[in-house]
Structure 1
Amino acid sequence: MSIRRALITGASSGIGTAAALELAGEGHALWITYAGRQAEAESVAAQCRAAGAPEVHVTRLDLRDAASVEALVAEVSAQWGSLHVLVNNGGVCPYTAYEDIDIDEWDLVMETNARGTFLLTRAALPLLRQADGDRSVVNISSIAGQVGALQTGLHYAASKGAILALTRSFARHLAPEGIRVNAVTPGPVASAITDQLQGEGRARLASSIPLGDFGQPADVAWIISALASERSRFITGATYDVNGGVRID
């Protein structure tokens, strides 16, 4: 059986790190990206090798920059030639009141989160089409994209809602080719994003979680791994909530 290859953005911390370690443990070759923390990304790569990944590459990526996205895909193509799994996890989340969001910050969030997901998915399609077996894209959205901005910035919620729309749209267009596209919508998870909240704001958020505490990145990573595998061969266009009961439909 051939080695499955996975590309994960924003893998230097949080959910991205947990997803990389989960896929490494299942024997995936990994290509992980980071935005500004090379030392942390290299540390994650070392952990992934120790966890069982047969091959790990690390590349800096600016999701806002189409040239940076295209350069990454060209690098992956030259080294691997194909790709089985794409995890669109990289993103930014400023906690800014909507009255204080200026156009530059709006563009930063929308272009990194929503535009970046679109650019990389589109650019990676030739590699996904070249792979044998199951092919899967997993987009990391957020509960904010479903219910709106509660604690996060309005622009973050808008960008994550856009990712859900992109997920459904790509799923419809790519299903005839056997390429699956799904989304995961984490709620409050212990990470660099929620670490921005302190004091009363953090306590208020914690008290709103029916299961009583923040989730952990590993709580999200196993679902990413499942959606990336052949076990989910009949699932596409779906959204998986991991939110401790904050949103129940």
Structure 2
Amino acid sequence: MRQELAGGLLIVRASGADAVKAALTGAQSAPERIQLLLGCPVPQAAAFSFGDCSLQTQPGGVVLLTVPEARLTIGFAELRPLMFQPVEVAPALRSVFAGAVAQLLAAGHALDPHGLAHHLLGLAELVLRSALRSELDRSDAAEARRREAVAYMRAHLADPTLSAERIADALFISRRRLYQLFDDGQGVSERIRVMRIEKAKALLADPAKAARGIAEISRDCGFTNATHFSRSFRKLVGETPREFRERAR
């Protein structure tokens, strides 16, 4: 965990009996506490408890901040985009957080514990809200790029040379970034194949295209080989293109 967070990443976790129960049963109840693990420079290892909040620092630059979920003004359901996964934190936010932690380590013994608990709660709110906003912005940007990629695929389905490399070049992104946009178990090549079969189904079921042969429709959908088209169609639809057309009529 320490090595994973060294680059300034944040991991938000749930803790307490309810969190364990939710993990075992899949329940959606809110946990007792929210834990924030953030990689940032810290001057020393320490552990403090202030009321119902706690702060721990580890050598190597890992800070664990624990706060009660019920006292946060942001609901547990809203935090789901951040939960249990490394999230990149902006350098400015890391700097503010690291500075606040360093000050607490230096002067916490001389400050009121009740006031410090409120301070830690506010610090947790700052980190969570800032990270959540950045994560949602990244998700919105990724979804927009994903829609662009799908639109490009749809416009070029008839081109048998359509590939991940061509789509990435058209969108001015790397192939790695393109694959990340479609990291949903289907992938880019499979998505193209499914979209081609869906287009073929629409053409086969269209009475206006009844005079067009199966081979012509396969070419219209980007398949250079009618046999390969029929095999792919049957694998996905469960029947041959001819059987589908007859049933659609």
TM-score tier by shorter-chain length is under 0.3
**Structure number, greater radius of gyration:** 2
Higher helix proportion (structure 1 or 2): 2
> Which structure ranks higher in relative contact order (CA pairs < 8 Å, sequence separation ≥ 6)?
1
- TM-score by length of structure 2 reads 0.23
